[in-house]
Structure formats: C-alpha cells, structure tokens
Amino acid sequence: MSNLHGLFQYPIPMKLYQKWIVSFALLLGFSYLMQWQGSALKNSFTPMGIVHLEFAQTAELFQKIVASWDVQTLRWNIAIDFLYIPIYTYFFQLTLSIFAHRHRSKLVQQMGILLKNAIFLAFFCDLAENTGMIISLMGFHASIIYILTFWLAGLKFAILGFSLIYILVSIPTLFFRTKQN
C-alpha cells in the first residue's frame, strides 16, 4: 500500500488514503455482489437487468419485465441496492473531493466540488427510484410512479456518468502534477 502511496507527487494524507482504499474495496465488492445476485434478472428481454425496470415508463412494461423474472430475486436485488447506495455515494464523494483539490484550475476544482455535491442528489434519486419500484411491486400502479422512477434513474445515471468522466479525466493529475510555486 505504501508503494502506491509514494507514487504521488503530493501524497494524499495517509488517513484519507486509507479511507479511499476501504471505500474502493467496498465499491468493488458490492458492485460484484450486485452483478452476481442480479445476473438472474438479465435475459434476452432485459439484458441490462434491473436497469430496464428502472426505466420502465408504463405499468404494462413494468409488469412485463417483472413477469420475466423471479420476484424474490428482484426484491433481494433492490434490498442490496439500498446498501450499495451509501457505499457508492461515499466512494464518489471522497474521490471527487480528492481530485477536485488537486487541480490547478479553479473552474475544474469547482466542477469537481459541484459533482461531489451532486452525488447527494444521485443518492436521493436512487432511494426514491427504489422506493418507486417497491411501491409498484406492491401493486400500486399509478403512472406518476413510473414516470418519476424513469426520470430519477436518468438523473442519477447522468450525475454518476459525469462524475465518472471527471474522475477518469483527472487520474493523470494524481501522478503527474508538479509542485506549484
């Protein structure tokens, strides 16, 4: 661990680095768990698994997707997702904070901080989206639930996508940043 830590021009404080390693390990572990447990939700009709359900805009499509799955597997996947949400939120918050503070450009720093704060919105979107799916699974089929779930999922994925792009584009700053005078 210390060898990787030593690669950085400006080392991340050890305590923060250790938190990041733990958050990354949890993210990887739960990502694997979600994929493994949710693999039964992937079929020719829903190759992306539960993502298809998140974007089902009508009761008819929602019910058709659910009919192609084992409902107990779906319920477990949603339950695990409720544990996954704070894990990916913490990882993204921590990672975006680290990268935002390492950029020289104030604009790029502000974008990182904006995304770091937007992760909270993704957190609440995901909670609401899961709640919408649970409400629909319980038999309440109001079209507003499907529309809200669709838009909340879209907003969540947009925030996570922009955050991931920011992180990937920022990776070289950890390795190649030179000391400011």
Domain-by-domain residue ranges, the chain?
2-6+13-176
Does the pLDDT of residue 179 top 70, yes or no?
Answer: no
Stretch 18-33: mean pLDDT: 96
- Mean pLDDT, the chain, rounded, equals 90
Say how far apart CA 99 and CA 87 lie, in whole Å.
18
Q: pLDDT of 88-120, one tens digit each? A: 999 999 999 998 988 888 999 999 999 999 999
Q: Are the CB atoms for 103 and 173 separated by under 8 Å?
A: yes
Q: pLDDT of 141-169, one tens digit each? A: 899 999 999 999 999 999 999 999 999 99
pLDDT tier, 177 (very low <50, low <70, confident <90, very high otherwise): low
DSSP the chain: -HHHHHTSSSPPPHHHHHHHHHHHHHHHHHHHHHHHHHGGG-SSS-TTTHHHHHT--SHHHHHHHHHTS-HHHHHHHHHHHHHHHHHHHHHHHHHHHHHHTT-S-HHHHHHHHHHHHHHHHHHHHHHHHHHHHHHHHTT---HHHHHHHHHHHHHHHHHHHHHHHHHHHHHHHHHHPPPP-
Q: Using a pLDDT cut of 70, give the percent of the chain over it.
A: 89
> What b/e sequence results for 128-155 when a residue is b if at least 16 CB atoms lie within 10 Å of its CB, and e otherwise?
bbbbbbbebbeeeeeeebbebbbebbeb
pLDDT value at position 104? 81
Q: pLDDT of 54-90, one tens digit each? A: 999 999 999 999 999 999 999 999 999 999 999 999 9
Say how far apart CA 156 and CA 55 lie, in whole Å.
12
pLDDT value at position 16? 82
- Tell me the Ramachandran region of residue 89: left when phi exceeds 0, alpha when psi lies from -120 to 50, beta otherwise: alpha
